[in-house]
A = this chain, B = another copy of it.
Amino acid sequence: MSAAPGNALVARRLGIDSHDEAIAYVRADCAVCRSEGIGGHSRVTLKVGSRAIIASLSQVTESWLAPETIGLSDAAWQRLRLATPVPVTISHVPPLASLGLVRRRIFDSNLTEAEIRAIVSDISQGRYSDIQITAFVTAVAARPFSRAETVAMIRAMIDTGQRLTWPDEAIFDKHCVGGLPGNRTTPIIVAIVAALGLKIPKTSSRAITSPAGTADTMETLTTVCLTLDDMRRIVDAQGGCLIWGNSVEFSPADHAMIRIERVLNFDSPSSMIASVLSKKVAAGATHIVIDIPVGPTAKVRTEQDALALEHLFLETAAAFDLTLHIALTDGRQPIGRGIGPALEARDVLAVLSNQADAPPDLARKACQLAGALLEMAGKAGPGHGEALASQTLRSGQALARFQAICQAQGGLKTLPVAPHQRPILAACSGRVLQIDNRRLARVAKLAGAPGDKAAGLDLHVRLGDRVHRGEALYTLHTDSPGELAYVLDYIDSNPGIVAVG
């Protein structure tokens, strides 16, 4: 329904960072809300000119907010595209029919393509509150998407976001399902394959449950928030890019769902596959290498789970004519030394620069995965991709291409260094028997990663290494003494994160 005349309040930017949720604050005695019958905790429509958004209403009883103003959280202010305190009209939200579908998905039955499209469309337009998004995300975690639902979800996410097309026949991409700290192979792979002429328009996410995502790491080296036009220009010139997926809005609904999954610290297989493949299809990819690390404390714990996930990827990809190469990799311990955005970036630079102390496991794994892409592209015969990748790395071609991509994205930055560092020492001598990926990731997060770019940890040992009592197993990097005390507390109460015996 249209808003009645005169029901306007003057917008005020409150500068409240409400975690992307649009929130409007009005006085409980606000005349406009009283005449419209709008109470506390309502969802309301806010309109400025032809632009309308949905927000959650919070009532205020104290006088810091003036009676005829409407205070806006940053998300609300930005979605309304305001710059000055203009009048905003406030009205009831039309009933959201798709919420009934979410309830049905929770209690009864799977959804049709049209039903999923209705939910995704409403989420992508910011019509769901955090609680409503959480219910949908949890429902499809507890009872996973069917194949048809996953395909429908991907189509709906593509259709509600931006999309790239390329004149080339084959467009390459790479994805890791995660769960292994460090393991920052993507920048190295992109540099190698782009140097050899492949087109790889790579977008990456920020961390969902981990101490760093590729976007977090790349942000310590260059600009990752770029437009779709920037992306196209950079890939046309350099063959590859390394940018943050959300900045190109391939899928606003996915963005909203991942934000909730980050709070809940989970992502479920079928919704993860929908999220990954929708972004790949939107980026125009046709050939993709998927890295699935397998290990007792990785995200995928057994080979059986890995094979099930591989099957899910392959059957979903078939609906979109995607060629996938699935690599089941060793997930028993982190790859590389650094865990945290800047520490991982340092490892990436070390590998690309062929430094003597570069982590060899990171170089080897990046070359294996790059090799798989090169074989898919026909640049190397079967079994010869890794050698070609390795040669491209050693020759300095990969480094040159990486630097060119970073220049195109806005220039190379100097890596930040955390002011507080503290080694964690072995309590006894012996061999490194186990490394708990999950709890090590937790340590890096408690140290401040990925929010603090320089925070995290440096792992000094690998499985099987012989260490002496008092030798450093890993070194914490933090920005504040408060965090340092806090993470030491966690380590004290969780012995054996790196088990020596």
Contacts and interface: CB of A to CB of B under 8 A. Distances in A.
A495 interface: no
A138 B106 contact: yes
A256 B36 CA distance: 29
Given A1-B485, A138-B138, A131 B263 contact: yes
Contacts of A40: 17, 19
A95 B490 contact: yes
Chain A interface, DSSP helix/strand/loop, else mixed:
mixed
A365 to B, nearest CB: 28
A51 to B, nearest CB: 21
A78 interface: no
A60 B16 contact: yes
A316 to B, nearest CB: 19
Interface in A28-42: 28, 34-41
Contacts of A38: 482
Interface string A97-121: 0010001001100000000000000
Interface string A1-42: 100100100000111111100000100100000111111110
B60 A141 contact: no
A211 to B, nearest CB: 14
Interface string A359-388: 000000000000000000000000000000
A60 B131 contact: no
A238 interface: no
A4 B485 contact: yes
A485 B38 CA distance: 13
Contacts of A62: 13-15
Interface string A137-170: 1110111000000000000000000000000000
A37 B131 contact: no
Given A18-B58, A268-B107, A37 B129 contact: no
Nearest to A105: B142
B268 A448 contact: no
Contacts of A265: 99, 103
B15 A60 contact: yes
B134 A135 contact: yes
Interface in A442-461: 442, 448, 451-452
A124 interface: no
A480 B37 contact: yes
A260 interface: yes
B106 A141 contact: yes
A489 interface: yes
A40 to B, nearest CB: 5
A87 B334 CA distance: 43
Nearest to A34: B480
Contact of A480 (B36, B139, B266, B479): B36
A480 B19 CA distance: 33
Contacts of A255: none
A58 B141 contact: no
18 contacts: A1-B485, A1-B489, A13-B62, A17-B60, A19-B40, A19-B41, A36-B480, A36-B482, A37-B448, A37-B479, A41-B263, A95-B442, A106-B138, A106-B142, A106-B266, A130-B130, A134-B135, A138-B138
Given A36-B482, A103-B265, A131-B260, 10 more contacts: A1-B485, A35-B481, A37-B448, A39-B451, A92-B482, A92-B486, A106-B141, A131-B134, A134-B134, A142-B143
